[in-house]
Chain A
Amino acid sequence: MIDDSTFWLVTLVLGAGTYLIRFSFLGLLGGRQLPEWLLVHLRYVGVAVLPALVTPMIIWPAAAGGQPDPLRMVAALAALVAGWRLGVLWAIGVGMGSLWGLQWAWGG
């Protein structure tokens, strides 16, 4: 359970912080350019944060009591390949579909 005050604190600070990030260049810095080395690092923020976030959810899923579940790992891999080769919607469809298929095939 998430307590109310923690929730509101996180939501408000996250909202304000996110807004400042979005406003940053367009709003405050006008036309000034970021240093090149910083832009190079910022390019990789998405692929640096998201996989690290997903990996523990796949390997130690809370729904399986934190125990490794091979079916989820296979389905996640299928979603990754589908998303990489075919695109966003395929990743979602193939990921969920393959987990359901595998669970059904294993009589889960």
Chain B
Amino acid sequence: MKIDWNRRAFWHGLRDCSPFIVIVVPFSALFGMVATDAGLDLIQVVAMSAIVIAGSAQFTALSLLQEGAPVFVVLLASLAVNMRMAMYSAALVPHLGKASLRLRALMAYVMVDQVYAVSVQTYEAKPEMPLGEKVSYYFGCITIVCIPWYICTFLGALLGKAIPASLSPDFAVPVCFIALFAPMLRSLPYIVAAGVSIVAAIAFAGLPWNFGLIVAAILAMLAGAQVEFWQKRRMRAKVAG
């Protein structure tokens, strides 16, 4: 299908996603710093950010690599972190599914949390948007998120060594992860899943090769889903009764 590019929609997307700069800049700079600190060189750091463009998975891979975990564990854990993007991909189909394969392939490469969240919200609010505007909007969103992502990873890697150890820069990594999942704790199933995840991570910390992480994640996912099923059953029972 032919796309009619729409400049206004592009700027619209750019504007709607611009508040996320305040998250993307420190997060990517932090990755650059931590990765440099872990002994990666400038090219490796920037290549990883450009190839993967998924901060939480990159931090996961990096910290497991540093602990000397086997490659398949590193990959399993960091790909697990990215599995949520399958949901994004599915959620975008009704809106962008009719674009050409080449465009869809490009849009998949830059599908990140913020872009997904903002664009789906907009598409749902304005279902009458033609495909060309939706695609233009999407590219506006990714421009303002991804370009700072590349640049700040690079700057972080360059300046990383300037941060003194007394400021505990290592602590910024868990804090960033906490910042990513804390706002997700909106309802009971999410809170239960996170609780199970924490308890299981402690209980299985002794397992070799960081398998504790995988076990804890699977248990937590099952727990969250079960609570949701239970809530639905209870709702139905209430309606029926």
Q: Report A92 CB to chain B, min CB distance, Å.
A: 5
CB of B56 closer than 8 Å to a CB of A: yes
Question: A33-60 vs B: 1/0 string, CB under 8 Å?
Answer: 1100101111111111111111111111
Of the candidates B22, B80, B171, B182, the one whose C-beta lies within 8 Å of that of A45 is B80
> Which chain A residues lie closer than 8 Å to B237 at the CB level?
none
Q: Contact: B173 with A17, CB < 8 Å?
A: no
Q: Report B116 CB to chain A, min CB distance, Å.
A: 10
> Which chain B residues lie closer than 8 Å to A12 at the CB level?
51
Q: Report B146 CB to chain A, min CB distance, Å.
A: 13
Q: Contact: A95 with B181, CB < 8 Å?
A: no
Q: Contact: A7 with B86, CB < 8 Å?
A: no
Interface SS of chain B: helix
CB of B121 closer than 8 Å to a CB of A: no
Q: Contact: A83 with B65, CB < 8 Å?
A: no
Q: Report B78 CB to chain A, min CB distance, Å.
A: 6
Q: Contact: A18 with B52, CB < 8 Å?
A: yes
Q: Contact: A50 with B180, CB < 8 Å?
A: yes
Among the 9-residue stretches B1-9, B10-18, B187-195, the one with 4 or more Cβ atoms under 8 Å from chain A is: B187-195
Q: Contact: A11 with B107, CB < 8 Å?
A: no
In A1-52, the 8 Å CB interface with B consists of 1-2, 4, 6-15, 17-19, 21-27, 29-31, 33-34, 37, 39-52
Q: Contact: A89 with B213, CB < 8 Å?
A: no
CB of B81 closer than 8 Å to a CB of A: yes
In A48-90, the 8 Å CB interface with B consists of 48-63, 72, 75-76, 79-84, 87-89
Q: Which of B77, B168, B219 has the most CB of A within 10 A?
A: B168
**A-contacting residues of B (Cβ < 8 Å)?**
22-23, 26, 38-40, 44, 47-48, 51-54, 56-57, 60-61, 63, 65-66, 71, 74-75, 77-90, 92-94, 96-97, 101, 104-105, 107-109, 111, 165, 167-168, 170-185, 189-190, 193-194, 196-198, 200-202, 205, 212-213, 216-225, 228-229
**B-contacting residues of A (Cβ < 8 Å)?**
1-2, 4, 6-15, 17-19, 21-27, 29-31, 33-34, 37, 39-63, 72, 75-76, 79-84, 87-89, 91-92, 95-96, 99-100, 103
